[in-house]
Structure 1
Amino acid sequence: MTQETDRLRADLCAQLPSELPRRLGVAVSGGGDSVALLDLLIDVLDGEGVAISAATVDHGLRPEATKEAAQVAALAVRLGITHETLRWEGWDGSGNLQDQARQARYHLLTGWARRNGITLLALGHTADDQAETVLMRLGRAAGVTGLSAMPARRVQDGVTLWRPMLGITRARLRDHLRARGLNWIEDPSNQDTRFDRIKAREALAQLGPLGITTESLASVAQNLAQARDALDHYTLKSAQNLARPDEGDILLNLRGFSTLPEETARRLLLVITGWIAGHTYPPRRAAVQEALTALHAGRAGALGGCLILRTGDEARFCREYNAIRDIAGPGDQPWDNRWSLTGPTIQGATVRALGEEGLSQVPDWRATDRPQAALIASPAVWKDGDLLAAPIAGYANGWQTGLLVEWEEFLATLLSH
């Protein structure tokens, strides 16, 4: 074993969780980074009682992908671990292919992890990936969160995504693989300068004389991640002190809100709208600034699929009807990814937004003391065009609503990460 391998093992061991999981998943594309990660994890966890499994996503976008996945499967056999290939068949040819493929990759991997009782999934992102991400986000004038780049840990779909190699360069990993006699696959897209990441990679190679290196940019990301964590901590404390839930809406104390630093206020808006609308991506910074300006001026506004209504000394954040008016589903399934409804078994019942049509059939809705704009976006039970129930609007008719994630639970989850 070489000294460099010893250093790599030490670097990886420093990132291990204090309590090792019984099962660990590793995403392995077959590229050098993920192959090295798999090999190193098997080494450092030998004898620790951790069952390691690997998964490879075949996006079906290149004819070589199936063969490459088979090579990873063969490597897994050599290394004595289980492996599964996950195939994506969801692209219809429209939209941003890279973005859709990335989202599909994470959903496939977390789904595989959950099926196999895996709560921790290791990803092979390196210091180079981190540095390239920082450069790309600099070009977009990103703030603290954007420039902190990829977090070492984050939770998606109930699975913790873990990036233990953000402080390790790609070159060190390639040297390790050569010393170990392990082969890897070079993705041809890594040479395609149509992609921003490859442009950033080429630009980074020219910035060394200025002291802008992979290592320095990865350190910048780490420093900003610490600043981000501090901002998030105080933002969430502000959420606990100034915001309160009301049947899926949030009421925000405007007097306390007006005293917050602008960055904390901006982040608080993202926390609130994230709980209500469940963003995959946060709203554009300009849209957040517009909502902040409206709040401070005492005007109504909208942000990320939510309405912001002024009610005395408070602002009410509620779901925007236009964002969910076309969402419908069976009565026994979650609605809008946040509501569950329980009630009588009625064949053919569906759940969709109450809307103005439904609200007109609820004579006592004003007794709820909630504004019309909020109530029309609340979940209601329908059958063949007839309103059966609208619990939040005061027409329960044997039905109850429940949130999949309560406000306090949502905040606790954010504080724990």
Structure 2
Amino acid sequence: MLLNYNNFTTEINKIGFFENKAKIAVGVSGGPDSIVLAFLLSKFAKIKGYTVIALIVNHNLRLESSQEAKEVSDYLTRNKINNKVLSWRRKKNKKASQEKARNARFEILHNYCKNNNIIHLFLGHHFDDNLETFILRKIAGSDIEGLNSMNSEAIFEKVRILRPMLNCTKESIIRFAKKNNLQWIKDPSNENMSYSRSKIRYEIENTLKFKKIAKKDFENKKLIYIDYLSMINRHLSYLITKITNNKVEINKNYFCKLPKGVAIKILVILTKYVHNNSIRIKNRKIDLINTGLSKKNSNFRTHSTIFASISNKIDIYPIK
């Protein structure tokens, strides 16, 4: 997708609803992707009458981290984009991998949004990022859920995670940044070949044949995932016998005939439903509950949810 303001707003409109005078946040690392997103969102917010804040996380992984965070903050301030620097307080002398730093950054951004009643968090992930994630997960042996990689919209503990640039390539983002004279910081860790993601990124950027094969495989898996979701939804329509805001009743006989992977996915979906998507779920625990539900009439529970297997039905509801 060619990146420009009109195409950007089209992608946001696909994502959907924003309340009047919405408060939105955008994670800014200082790289070209997040800088471009911050500038596009700032323009979008002004036109719509929304409030936007750019959140910069100082991960303290390198000596230059604090200075870089300040430079990004100063640059955004000069361009009249409201921003705030957040810091990752990690234990001294404790090494952090790229993945740990990435997860910590997301947690800091997410917690800020929750604590400040912001329900829309924008992230600057693009097509190449998604392709990298797909390849890494495929190497690791992920199932169809994992291979779906990142989506343009997700809800995590009452915060919408929005990625409107997933159809944009890195090349188109940099082209937009240069055309609009935007400035960004280059993170040297992205070129550190001791990281698997950096190796994959290098191959994508420098080996056309590799990128074409990976892209085709990724797009095929996306189509398969769409069929997979249709199948899950079809089973849900046959399975659910009664539903309220915080309780679901399902047909036990039908449920027990489902393949294990499908049954676990359905339990995860229904558990999230009764908690209004505001819960983290450990698949290992759900796996054990699934095994128990098919064997006997009893109550099974996680720390927050009850699964009551009674005669020919299973009730799922939160612990009050």
SS of residue in 2 equivalent to 1:15 = helix
Unaligned runs of 5+ in 1: 299-309, 320-335, 340-368, 371-405, 410-417
Structure 1 segment 41-190 matched on structure 2, within 5 A: 41-91=41-91, 97-190=97-190
SS of residue in 1 equivalent to 2:108 = helix
Residues 121, 162 of structure 1: 8 Å contact kept: yes
Q: Look up the equivalent residue of 1:150 and give its one-letter code.
A: M
Unaligned runs of 5+ in 2: 310-315
In structure 2, do the counterparts of structure 1 residues 121 and 272 end up closer, same or farther at CA, with 3 Å as the change threshold? closer
Measured after TM superposition, the shift of residue 200 of structure 1 is 1.8
Measured after TM superposition, the shift of residue 138 of structure 1 is 1.1
Measured after TM superposition, the shift of residue 186 of structure 1 is 1.1
Residues 34, 124 of structure 2: 8 Å contact kept: yes
% identity of equivalent residues: 24
SS of residue in 2 equivalent to 1:112 = helix
Query: How many Å separate the matches in 1 of 2:230 and 2:92?
Result: 41
Measured after TM superposition, the shift of residue 408 of structure 1 is 7.8
SS of residue in 2 equivalent to 1:42 = helix
Q: Which residue of 2 aligns with 1:407?
A: 317
Structure 1 segment 10-409 matched on structure 2, within 5 A: 10-17=6-13, 18-21=16-19, 22-91=22-91, 97-205=97-205, 208-209=208-209, 212=212, 216=216, 219-220=219-220, 222-234=222-234, 236-237=236-237, 240-241=240-241, 254-271=252-269, 279=280, 282-283=283-284, 288=287, 298=295, 310-311=296-297, 316-319=299-302, 338=304, 407=317
Measured after TM superposition, the shift of residue 291 of structure 1 is 7.3
Superimposed CA distance per residue, residues 77-114 of structure 1 (whole angstroms, 9 cap, x where no aligned partner): 12212110111114466696444433322221122223
Superimposed CA distance per residue, residues 40-87 of structure 1 (whole angstroms, 9 cap, x where no aligned partner): 222344422122210011112211111111122112212212110111
Query: How many Å separate the matches in 2 of 1:64 and 1:166?
Result: 29
Q: Look up the equivalent residue of 1:102 and give its one-letter code.
A: R
Measured after TM superposition, the shift of residue 10 of structure 1 is 3.1
Residues 124, 165 of structure 2: 8 Å contact kept: yes
Measured after TM superposition, the shift of residue 238 of structure 1 is 6.1
Measured after TM superposition, the shift of residue 150 of structure 1 is 0.8
* Length-normalised TM-score, structure 1: 0.61
Measured after TM superposition, the shift of residue 15 of structure 1 is 1.8
SS of residue in 2 equivalent to 1:255 = helix
Q: Which residue of 2 aligns with 1:306?
A: none
Measured after TM superposition, the shift of residue 233 of structure 1 is 3.0
Q: Look up the equivalent residue of 2:18 and give its one-letter code.
A: L
Query: For this pair of structures, how many residues does the alignment match?
Result: 303
Residues 32, 173 of structure 1: 8 Å contact kept: yes
Identify, as 1 or 2, the structure richer in helix. 2
Query: How many Å separate the matches in 2 of 1:95 and 1:265?
Result: 39
In structure 2, do the counterparts of structure 1 residues 210 and 180 end up closer, same or farther at CA, with 3 Å as the change threshold? closer
In structure 2, do the counterparts of structure 1 residues 92 and 50 end up closer, same or farther at CA, with 3 Å as the change threshold? same
In structure 2, do the counterparts of structure 1 residues 256 and 103 end up closer, same or farther at CA, with 3 Å as the change threshold? same
Superimposed CA distance per residue, residues 267-314 of structure 1 (whole angstroms, 9 cap, x where no aligned partner): 1344467789x5465339xx94x8767766x3xxxxxxxxxxx22xxx
Measured after TM superposition, the shift of residue 229 of structure 1 is 3.7
Superimposed CA distance per residue, residues 142-168 of structure 1 (whole angstroms, 9 cap, x where no aligned partner): 222111101211122321110011110
Residues 239, 254 of structure 2: 8 Å contact kept: no
Query: How many Å separate the matches in 2 of 1:408 and 1:136?
Result: 35
Larger radius of gyration: 1
* Length-normalised TM-score, structure 2: 0.78
Residues 148, 223 of structure 1: 8 Å contact kept: no
Query: How many Å separate the matches in 2 of 1:224 and 1:71?
Result: 44
Q: Look up the equivalent residue of 2:266 and give its one-letter code.
A: L
Query: How many Å separate the matches in 1 of 2:194 and 2:32?
Result: 22
Residues 32, 185 of structure 2: 8 Å contact kept: yes
* Cα root mean square deviation, aligned: 3.8
In structure 2, do the counterparts of structure 1 residues 291 and 96 end up closer, same or farther at CA, with 3 Å as the change threshold? farther
Q: Look up the equivalent residue of 2:6 and give its one-letter code.
A: A
Q: Look up the equivalent residue of 1:11 and give its one-letter code.
A: N
In structure 2, do the counterparts of structure 1 residues 20 and 291 end up closer, same or farther at CA, with 3 Å as the change threshold? closer
Query: How many Å separate the matches in 2 of 1:69 and 1:293?
Result: 49
Query: How many Å separate the matches in 1 of 2:211 and 2:170?
Result: 18
SS of residue in 1 equivalent to 2:212 = coil
